[in-house]
Amino acid sequence: MSRRTLIAGNWKMNGLTGSLDYFRELAPVAADSAAEVLVCPPATLIHPVAQACRGTRIRVGGQDCHARNSGAHTGDISAPMLRDAGASHVILGHSERRAGHGERDMDVQAKAAAASAAGLVPVICVGETLTEREAGQAVEVVARQLAGSLPENSAIVDLVIAYEPVWAIGTGLTASLTDVAEMHAAIRERLKNPLTTCILYGGSVKPDNAEALLSLADVDGALVGGASLDVTDFSAIVRAAGSGTQLAR
């Protein structure tokens, strides 16, 4: 299995049913892209988005899942529920979940195992804070998160890693190309399946920096936040990944 290019949009807590026109505009862009295109709307929209994207090359994902398949967990959503609603992927361990909901590496690991067992592709997020980077601990922190968050079952090979420096999420700041290249290389060295695992960069990815970021050797795509809410901006990022029958790396 070759490394693929993936452009993923994380809508976070945004989007209503009136947002579905977005996908009619995105569909022809996705059809002409060398990349896989994934949009992760809020849970309330997963099913209608999946229905709207039938027959297109747009995949749909969740933004989180519980480690258990069912039970007394008010307000949570399980991996089988996401799959049943039409999702193919799920974002796990995003820094906003780690910081705002106290998620630990072991929690992300359990969720990733549950997601894979349900037939979802886990998109596991890792990233350092500005304080950690300035202290020269960026690689150490990300390596620790990676080791603690990846499923222990080595048979789970279909997963995605997203490197998102915490200080670059929603701030307008972007890590330098050198920093991104070094971190992605460090992540790949620590993977069980380095030749096939897709590693995304996330952190204020925009149309004007996407092409440069995607040109880096170990960057296989992008996890896009705010810019994914605007179909024009997101389409431009998808186009930056190349078109037609571009070969996998």
Q: Which residues are catalytic?
A: 94, 164
Residue 177 in tokens: 């190309």
Whether residue 185 contacts residue 149, with contact meaning beta carbons closer than 8 Å, is answered with no
Q: 200: part of which helix (H) or strand (E)?
A: strand 198-202
Question: Which residues have a Cβ under 8 Å from the Cβ of 40 and sit 6 or more positions away?
Answer: 8, 9, 10, 11, 60, 61, 62, 63, 89, 90, 91
Counting Cα atoms < 13 Å in the Cβ hemisphere of 178 gives: 0
Question: Which residues have a Cβ under 8 Å from the Cβ of 67 and sit 6 or more positions away?
Answer: 107, 110, 111, 113, 114
